[in-house]
Chain A
Amino acid sequence: MSLLEIRGLSVEFPAGENAVKAVSNVSFEVEEGETFGLIGESGSGKSVIGLALLRLLPESAVISGEVIFQGQNLFSLKPSELRNIRGKKISLMPQNPAGALNPVLKNGLQIEEVFEERRVDKKEGMKRSLKLMKKLFLTDPEKLCTLYPHQLSGGMRQRLIACMSLSFEPELLIADEPTKGLDPEAKAGAVDLFTKIKKEYGKTMLLITHDLDLALEVCDRIAVMYAGEIVELNEASKVLNTPVHPYTKGLISAQPRNGLVPLRGQSPSRIKLPEGCFFNERCRCSGIECSKKHPEIKKHKGGWVRCHFQSLQ
């Protein structure tokens, strides 16, 4: 049985008389010990999925579908049961390393705080954290604990945040856009960091990112999201080296090193989604069928693709 199973997850945000469809009918499984990547542009709904897993969405969000974690449906848990899972079994690594640390508290205190909130023995916890920090190549973690967050570089801060989110050895770590806004050096550092977490720690990760380089280096499998749904799902190297869906292809050739070829047009309005394929308007190889019928996700070469023409490509 897989560790995390998402079945038919849809999320809508009411907006006036309409609703913004942030996520529509997303299903995937994450196996134990695997690193699963959710990639896509901002606004594709990938971060909403991460938040929905931990039920951190605003109350106005209309959520349907099931999220099964270790055999339990997270959506039917009581708040107290949910608290036991949040942070302990599923941990979220926040997006913005600069804003995630309290600037007036020393780093050590912030790490301790994590344990305090959970009523776990602080000394025991700190010992574990320090060990973990050493593993994630933070040299001299004891000294680091006596500094304030602003005295660390962006990369260091991110590692510290990573350690904090791993404090309780969660079964599942969700990392939301860990490389957003970092400069190239820090980005390279993040790739190292996640490779290391994967190797040293060996637990399951859900990596939400728009950084294809990071995804290729770290992820085992990847789901590509477009306009709130998965358009392609397969092993990372297959998705990024031999993409099948036209959107994935477009995303890859938009990379500077692959020619900086922009995708035509813009994502469709999420209030009134097109009848046919959501990518139809921007697709370079759309046919008559594409504008009329919304494609179902189908098996293709060991993976899944949502496209009418996958067999032709």
Chain B
Amino acid sequence: MVDTMDNAFAKKLKKEDVLITEVYGSEFSKRLFQRKDMLFALVALLLFTGLALFAPFISPYDPNANELRNKNLSPSEDHLLGTDYLGRDLLSRILIGARTSLSIAFGVVLISLITGTALGCAAGYYGGIVDEGISRVIDVFLSFPGVIFALAIMGVLGRGVFNLMLALSIVQWAKYARVMRGQVLSIKKQEFVLSAVTSGADDFYIIRRHIVPNAIAPLIVLATIDIGHVILSIATLSFLGIGLPADVPEWGAMLSAGKEFMRTAPYQTIFPGLAITFVVVIFSILGDGMRDILDPNHEGGEIY
């Protein structure tokens, strides 16, 4: 209810027949529809997510069914994208693999976003010793090179979906925390925050109502682009053989397995590679578009 006072007011005006010509403040959806590339990426993403969600129902074969006599086939009517070295259907494996990649990536980004936002907020808002403490921890985590850090953690934890998520989140969160801290530092000095302070609002209210909504936009952009990056990291780790257990279909692992047969059966690397590229590009476009759309005063890139 707290968040709908504007709507309540607008409704009341309408009821009382007060004429309002609301022409300014173009809304989120309107701005979205002005961006053709965003729309394209969104549709592609929806399609892709749909395929991943329903993968068990639409994939033509069991992704783990070995049929050694059908190994290393080229694309045909029976196997649209061919088969791998154990005779498993590539299309089915890519579809199921999308599930793995997307869900792990979403999970990692969500965990990093929440942790980063919370810690970044605390550091930026309270300053002083809280900031000192959190900032040093951020520095430490940012000083390791990403994939190698994840590799080391995986080495300790061992393979597995949950472990992979945990490892990648540990690598990712500090980036979010740092961006959030910077945002909060500049926003907390603005007059609308100060006037909330002087009207007696408590810290939690101010953070929730003013700081986070005004600071979050760059993090959302970062998160969107990051989904692509995380998918790439998952693939990298699996390619190196330490991401997921061997029986979990995953694009990076497929690439890794296919590289042995590059000459005789190039499809085994081409198709998983294309899938990775496709998803990463989609999220890049989405992230770029979010940057423009999330600004309420955005004028559409025109120069006055």
**Which residues of A approach B to under 8 Å, CB–CB?**
15-18, 20, 51, 56-60, 269, 271-272
Contacts and interface: CB of A to CB of B under 8 A. Distances in A.
Interface in B159-188: none
A271 to B, nearest CB: 6
B23 A58 contact: no
B21 A58 contact: no
Interface string B278-302: 0000000000000000000001001
Contact of B21 (A56, A59, A60, A269): A269
Interface in B254-304: 299, 302-304
Q: Is the interface of B mostly helix, strand, loop or mixed?
A: loop
A171 B303 CA distance: 25
A57 B303 CA distance: 8
Nearest to B30: A16
Contacts of A15: 23-24
9 contacts: A15-B23, A20-B23, A51-B304, A57-B304, A58-B299, A58-B304, A269-B21, A271-B21, A271-B23
Contacts of A272: 21
A60 B23 contact: no
A18 B302 CA distance: 20
Given A17-B23, A51-B304, A58-B299, 19 more contacts: A15-B23, A15-B24, A16-B23, A16-B26, A18-B21, A18-B23, A20-B23, A56-B303, A56-B304, A57-B304, A58-B302, A58-B303, A58-B304, A59-B302, A60-B302, A269-B21, A271-B21, A271-B23, A272-B21
Interface string B1-40: 0000000000000000000010110100000000000000
B246 to A, nearest CB: 54
A16 B21 CA distance: 10
A61 to B, nearest CB: 9
A51 B304 CA distance: 8
A87 to B, nearest CB: 16
Nearest to A56: B304
Contacts of B21: 18, 269, 271-272
B31 to A, nearest CB: 13
Contacts of B26: 16
Interface string B138-158: 000000000000000000000
A6 B21 CA distance: 32
B61 to A, nearest CB: 53
Most central of B24, B26, B299, B304 by chain A CB within 10 Å: B304
Contacts of B299: 58
A20 B24 CA distance: 10
Contacts of A16: 23, 26
A228 to B, nearest CB: 16
A40 B291 CA distance: 36
| 7 tightest A-B CB contacts, nearest first | A58-B302, A15-B23, A16-B23, A18-B23, A271-B21, A58-B304, A271-B23
A248 B7 CA distance: 40
A59 B299 CA distance: 12
A265 B302 CA distance: 33
Nearest to B304: A58
Nearest to B301: A58
A15 B24 CA distance: 7
A243 to B, nearest CB: 31
Contacts of A56: 303-304
A46 to B, nearest CB: 14
Contacts of A271: 21, 23
B106 to A, nearest CB: 36
A114 to B, nearest CB: 19
A268 to B, nearest CB: 12
Interface string B113-124: 000000000000
A11 B23 CA distance: 17
A15 B22 CA distance: 9
Nearest to A60: B302
A269 B23 CA distance: 12
A15 B26 CA distance: 9
Contacts of B303: 56, 58
Nearest to A269: B21
Nearest to B303: A58
A246 to B, nearest CB: 27
A54 to B, nearest CB: 11
A20 B304 CA distance: 16
B43 to A, nearest CB: 26
A20 B26 CA distance: 15
Nearest to B26: A16
A59 B302 CA distance: 8
